[in-house]
Every structure is written in C-alpha cells, then in structure tokens.
Homo-oligomer: A and B are copies of this chain.
C-alpha cells in the first residue's frame, strides 16, 4: 500500500530540494531579485539563502551581480539572476499555418527563434518533423548552451505521458506518436514533452502575460479550431491523460452543424474562425486576413460582417457563461482570433454572461485579451520543458558542466 499525497517521506534532503526549487522558480517567474529580497520572499534566513544561492551559482544556474546601490540605508544586497546560458530548452510549435522553434534560456529569455509560415491544409507528419529538425539545426548553430528539455506545442489532442497526438483535425493527424518521431529526427534522448497549444498558451499567459499572479484562469484561443486551457488553483488543468481543456468541442448548439471532430454543434462550429468568415460571406479558409477583412467591413458598417461578429460574440458569451459557472475563474483570457475580435464583441459577450452566468462567479470574473500574441504557445512549450528543472534544480546541481547537445546528424 502506497500512501498517496504530495509530501510523502520527507527528509532533510527534500528540504534543500524544495528550497532550491523555490529560489529558482521565484527568479524564473518574477525576474532577478536581490539576496535580501529572496530572504523576504522565501522566509528563509540570510545564512540559508547564501548557501543555496552559492550552490546554484556553483552549478552555473544563477549569477550574482556585485551589488546595486539603490539609495536606501544599509549594505546593498547583490542581485541574483538566473543565467540564461546555464540551462536552455528547445521550444517547438506546430500550428495549422506555421511552425516555429526557439531556444529559450532559464529565466525566460528567448535566445534564438525561427518561424516559418506554411500553407494550410493537411500536412504529413514526416515533412513537418523534418522541417522542425532543420529549424532546430539552424538554431543550434548559434546557441551552444546546455539543453535540458524540449517542449512541443501542437494544435491537437495530446497525451502527455508519451506525446501521442490522438487527433489534430486541422492538421489531419490521427494517433501520431509525435514525441517519438521528434526524438528520432533530432537524434536525442533529452526529455520531450508534448502538449496542446492552448494548454501551453494559458501557461505562458500565466507566467509572462495577461494572467501573471492570477491562479484561476480560463484561456480561450480561436484559431482554425477553438482551443482552451485552464489553470485552477495555480495548477494547469490537464485531466488524467492531458486531454483536458478541449472546450472547442463542448456541445453548444444541438441544432448546429457538423464539426471536424465528428460530432455536431460543437462550440467551435459557432465561434471558430470558419463560422465568422462564412457568416460574413467569405470563404471559410480565408484565414487571418479574412478575419481582418471582416473587422474592417464591420467598422465600415457592413451588415453581414456586423451580424457575423454578433453571432460569434453571442455564442462566445453563452459558452463562457457555462465555463465561468463550472470553473469559477478570476480571469478569462481571449487569445488569437478571439483576442483580436474582442473589442468588437465585448458588449455582446458581456450581455450573454450577465444573463446566463450565476451572479456569484460572474461578479468575480474579468475578461481580457491575451497579451503575448501568437508566441504564447511557443513560450508555454518552453515553460513546460523547464518545469522539471524548476521543480527540482538539485538534479542539475552537482551535474555541473552537463552540456547536452543534440546530435548534429
């Protein structure tokens, strides 16, 4: 029998691990801090902080700037900052119309990034993986820091344990073992974590964007499909296998149209890009430019464009009302297309929520557009890849100079 919980069998070593984690995570999320600020933030003593920071510095994960005079009395405290070159991750994003790769340093600094637009349509897994391997080689030519993990954002339903893409309707993928494919193409044994793009988008907005400091966040991102991610109590809502957050395929309109997923009346069919474009009289694959056209037409007074926006806004409000009732978030972040159209549909959304959400959660929630733009899933992928290090920096401490590189083959 195994007792089940977060803190089973703690020992003194665990304490050090946890304290190192608190320091590294604090610096990663809040940026550089002085040693005395670390003392205040963690509640540890100066002696303890000194020892822990010293250990991290010895491992190359942090650097200490000599001092900084800031006009207050007392001896100035040296600034501690994470060393972006002490540990890096490779972040990869696979969207319907573009792929991207970046190398991100500890602390969140992007050291190198490449994005390549691709034509929409069903893309073979092999060609995408090959292209990503090419991008990665380019990035690796300019950055030579130790790589500790790889994070992948993909617009599909992903099993976290092994990176199986169960379904990515907009890519035409079914049961693709993406994690294994990438490992082979990159010739590496570095851990690869694959996740849904919206799940990573909310992670990025939570760490670096519009939801910093907010522990209960719902993120809705309308691309070709409609993705969603949630953070509840500060913890990403993944579900048992990582499939969680698929709000685009919640039944919304029983009389609705067929969805790519095989069901009918999914929320995505009412609030997705295709719905907006079709209702506005444009081809459903007009893409981002089409959306911009709809917005211009609406400003110019086009009835079809206004009606299309109203339709999407109304269904957005209906769906959000239910999600607000279910998840009781502090903040709803609208990403991608939904962030773009938000100024145009704000009143419609709010009217529906005022009607359909319960008074109590409704009074708490705020709706804001995303602040990170198209890079959110990419940054989230980096955060995902950093997570093991943040949770246990001790695993790297002592493993000094463990510069791992991808095979150049």
A contact residues vs B (CB 8 Å cutoff): 1-12, 14-15, 18-19, 21-23, 25-26, 29-30, 33, 37, 40-44, 157, 159, 166-167, 213, 215-216, 228, 232-235, 237-247, 249-255, 261-264, 318-319, 321-323, 325-330, 355-361, 364
Of A25, A44, A240, A359, chain B has the most CB atoms within 10 Å of the CB of A240
A11:B15 contact, CB within 8 angstroms? yes
The docked-state distance in angstroms from the alpha carbon of A2 to that of B40 is 7
B243:A328 contact, CB within 8 angstroms? yes
The docked-state distance in angstroms from the alpha carbon of A22 to that of B11 is 13
Q: Which residue of B lies closest to A25 (CB)?
A: B5
A157-B360, A246-B361 given; A3·B22 CB < 8 A: yes
Contacts of A10 in B (CB 8 A): 14-15, 18-19, 22
Contacts of A19 in B (CB 8 A): 7, 9-10
A18:B25 contact, CB within 8 angstroms? no
Q: Which residue of B lies closest to A240 (CB)?
A: B216
B359:A322 contact, CB within 8 angstroms? no
A321:B21 contact, CB within 8 angstroms? no
Contacts of A5 in B (CB 8 A): 21-22, 25-26
The docked-state distance in angstroms from the alpha carbon of A7 to that of B245 is 27
A329:B239 contact, CB within 8 angstroms? yes
The one of B3, B241, B262 in contact with A26, judged by C-beta atoms closer than 8 angstroms, is B3
Chain B nearest Cβ from A329, distance in angstroms: 6
Of A18, A254, A360, A364, chain B has the most CB atoms within 10 Å of the CB of A360
A364:B241 contact, CB within 8 angstroms? yes
Contacts of A29 in B (CB 8 A): 3-4
- Contacts A12-B15, A245-B326 aside, 9 further interface pairs with beta carbons under 8 A come to A7-B18, A9-B22, A15-B15, A228-B326, A232-B244, A244-B361, A246-B361, A263-B357, A264-B356
A238-B233, A251-B319, A329-B240 given; A12·B9 CB < 8 A: no
Q: Which residue of B lies closest to A242 (CB)?
A: B328
The one of B166, B216, B263, B319 in contact with A239, judged by C-beta atoms closer than 8 angstroms, is B216
Q: What are 24 A-B residue pairs whose CB atoms fall within 8 Å in the complex?
A: A1-B30, A2-B40, A3-B30, A4-B29, A5-B26, A7-B21, A8-B42, A9-B42, A11-B44, A12-B12, A157-B358, A157-B360, A166-B358, A233-B238, A235-B235, A237-B237, A239-B361, A240-B330, A245-B328, A247-B326, A249-B356, A251-B321, A251-B356, A326-B326
